């Protein structure tokens, strides 16, 4: 660049004036050049994964992570906290599928990392070019960060907590009125799958089967009364029959969904204020069937979770889930198995929704947040086609209500990078 004064400002030598041209430039170490080349190969997807792993593996606090805006910030943190013997193996395990990154790191480990000169370019010219490009890149990043800092501050993650939290699973298979609500074949598979999944994520599990509406209210009230100050989140899973805005108890009467949510609002359960509350509802929300424009040949057996009689809950144009002060209703994520007004399906292998949800949460966490994973679940479930005993082809589309104010990640216990 011809700006030797700029080089001297970046890396001044003790006791010397501005850096002059010499045959022994040492101001850029092989370690720093390797990290720079690694950073150049990292895109947005890898950056998201790296940030999540910094939180899990290095236990980087929320205050520090809120200042992380790009890959260079991540590498700075890693460089401060890890020795070379730890840093570069860490990077290799994070990016196992990137051959270019692995080659760069291996070269450094073997002591043969190069400055990246090509053709007849001299080492001195290459080093000066690297510094100039890095300064230019950082300048551009600073400009971009000024325009995106507000957005990024809204996309920070919820704190993990000293403990993962509590996971309540209410699994109703047998009902008092079997004519109106037949047994839910396969729901035991769903219950076990959810129990194993959230045990893997470190949650304290409570699995409760065939509970009446009164018992459900009492159970949730007991959870509300607990001190959640050390918990990161709350998870409530309900597997049952249902209809529009209602869940069916083992007593064959209905419980309005609002009654499940309200006990955990910030004004009712202060120790859960500002913490994510995930509700997973494997229920029908009506009796309508999703329209299928073709008849597939690989459909699986399917049974609905709707009320089989024609008696329907009263339908209103304005669902009651959004009542109350906004802040009291914040930090909820409600994942329905199907859209309002429509049926959801299962068979002896479990329900379409729960089995897809469990599979993808297990595979994608913690590199993706729960909301992003739910989008993948929606796609996966939409591809499943069932066939009832009457020969009707059926399908469903899950639906979520998102009131989270930050990103919500699930972290496996003792997870390895």
SS3 of 350, please?
strand
Residue 284: active-site member: yes
Active-site choice (241, 251, 269, 411): 241
Distances (CA, A) of 353 to 4, 97, 275: 62, 30, 25
Going from the C-alpha of 399 to that of each of 331, 335, 404, the distances in angstroms are 17, 6, 15
The reply to whether 136 belongs to the active site is no
Tell me phi and psi for residue 178, to 5 degrees.
Answer: -70, -20
The span from the CA of 205 to the CA of 171, in Å, is: 13
Show the CA angle centred on residue 153, arms to residues 149 and 158, nearest 5°. 160
Which residues, listed in sequence order, are joined to residue 254 by a DSSP beta bridge? 248
- Picking from 392, 355, 402, 395, the residue whose alpha carbon sits closest to that of residue 377 is 355
For residues 308 and 250, give the distance between their C-alpha atoms in angstroms, rounded to a whole number: 15
Pick the catalytic residue from 74, 213, 251, 284: 284
Strands 386-387 vs 393-394: parallel, antiparallel or unpaired: antiparallel
Please report which helix (H) or strand (E) contains residue 169, including its range: strand 163-171
Provide the annotated active-site residues.
Answer: 241, 284
């Amino acid at each position: 660049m011809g700006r030797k004064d700029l080089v001297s400002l970046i890396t001044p030598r003790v006791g010397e004036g501005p850096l002059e041209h010499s045959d022994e430039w040492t101001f850029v170490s092989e370690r720093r050049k390797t990290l720079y080349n690694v950073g150049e190969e990292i895109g947005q997807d890898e950056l998201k994964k790296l940030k999540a792993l910094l939180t899990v593996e290095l236990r980087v606090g929320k205050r520090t992570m809120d200042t992380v805006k790009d890959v260079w910030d991540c590498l700075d943190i890693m460089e401060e906290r890890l020795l070379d013997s730890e840093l570069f193996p860490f990077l290799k395990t994070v990016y196992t599928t990137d051959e270019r990154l692995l080659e760069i790191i291996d070269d450094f480990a073997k002591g043969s990392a190069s400055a990246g000169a090509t053709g007849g370019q001299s080492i001195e010219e290459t080093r000066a070019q690297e510094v100039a490009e890095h300064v230019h890149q950082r300048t551009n990043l600073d400009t971009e960060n000024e325009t995106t800092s507000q957005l990024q501050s809204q996309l920070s993650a919820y704190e993990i907590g000293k403990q993962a939290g509590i996971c309540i699973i209410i699994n109703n298979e047998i009902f008092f009125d079997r004519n109106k609500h037949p047994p839910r074949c396969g729901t035991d598979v769903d219950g076990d799958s959810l129990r194993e999944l959230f045990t893997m994520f470190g949650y304290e599990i409570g699995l409760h089967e065939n509970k009446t509406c009164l018992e459900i209210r009492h159970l949730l009230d007991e959870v509300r009364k607990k001190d959640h100050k050390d918990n990161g989140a709350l998870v409530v899973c309900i597997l049952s029959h249902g209809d529009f805005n209602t869940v069916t108890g083992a007593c064959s009467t209905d419980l309005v969904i609002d009654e499940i949510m309200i006990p955990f609002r910030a004004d009712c359960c202060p120790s859960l204020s500002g913490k994510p509350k995930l509700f997973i509802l494997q229920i029908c929300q009506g009796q309508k069937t999703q329209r299928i424009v073709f008849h597939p040949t690989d459909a699986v057996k399917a049974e609905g979770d709707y009320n089989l009689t024609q008696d329907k809950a009263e339908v209103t144009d304005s669902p009651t889930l959004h009542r109350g002060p906004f802040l009291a209703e914040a930090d909820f994520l409600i994942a329905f198995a199907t859209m309002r007004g429509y049926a959801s399906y299962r068979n002896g292998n479990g329900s379409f929704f729960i089995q897809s949800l469990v599979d993808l949460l297990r595979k994608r966490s913690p590199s993706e947040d729960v909301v992003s994973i739910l989008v993948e679940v929606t796609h996966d479930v939409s591809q499943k086609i069932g066939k009832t005993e009457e020969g009707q082809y059926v399908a469903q589309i899950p639906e979520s209500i998102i009131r989270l104010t930050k990103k919500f990640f699930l972290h496996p216990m003792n997870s390895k990078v």
